[in-house]
């Protein structure tokens, strides 16, 4: 069984707790080309999960969209220390709607 690494992408306040646990962190404020850095993580095939802070996800929308439907790595949108924007929940909801053919999360429009 293969072992994969985990990474986190976000602002410094979101990334530091992950980094303290040994998770590779791509800190937006410290990374010159964020899109290239995340693309490298995805293409390396070393990562099983990449957590992306919701407030950074919009800047990475094309990369995230292309990776969302691949088996690996799993791209998981997470809230920042200031709270959730609801983007992670929306991604899960839309994925579940596609899989089930209807909104099974009980939030019909």
Return the SS3 of 57.
helix
pLDDT at 62 over 80: yes
CB distance 26 to 41 below 8 Å: yes
| Residue 68: pLDDT band with limits 50, 70, 90 | confident
pLDDT at 105 over 80: no
Domain definitions of the chain by residue range = 5-82
| Residue 76: pLDDT band with limits 50, 70, 90 | confident
Give the list of residues 6+ apart from residue 8 with CB closer than 8 angstroms, or none: 14, 15, 18, 19, 23, 24, 25, 26, 50, 51, 52, 53, 78
Return the SS3 of 30.
helix
- pTM for the whole thing? 0.76
Strand order of the β-sheet with 24-27 is 24-27, 5-10, 47-53, 74-78
Mean pLDDT of the chain: 83
pLDDT above 90 coverage of the chain, percent: 46
CATH fold of 5-82 reads: Rossmann fold (3.40.50)
Read off the pLDDT of residues 25-57 as tens digits, 9 standing for 90 and up.
999 988 889 999 999 999 999 999 999 999 998
Return the SS3 of 74.
strand
């Amino acid at each position: 069984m293969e072992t994969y690494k985990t990474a986190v992408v976000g602002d410094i306040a979101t990334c530091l707790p992950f980094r303290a646990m040994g998770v590779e962190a791509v800190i937006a404020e410290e990374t010159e080309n964020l899109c290239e850095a995340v693309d490298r993580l995805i293409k390396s095939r070393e990562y099983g999960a990449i957590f992306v802070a919701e407030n950074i996800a919009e800047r990475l929308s094309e990369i995230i969209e292309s990776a969302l439907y691949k088996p690996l790595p799993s791209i998981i949108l997470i809230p920042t220390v200031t709270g959730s924007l609801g983007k992670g929940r929306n991604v899960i909801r839309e994925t579940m709607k596609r899989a089930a053919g209807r909104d099974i999360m009980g939030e019909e429009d």
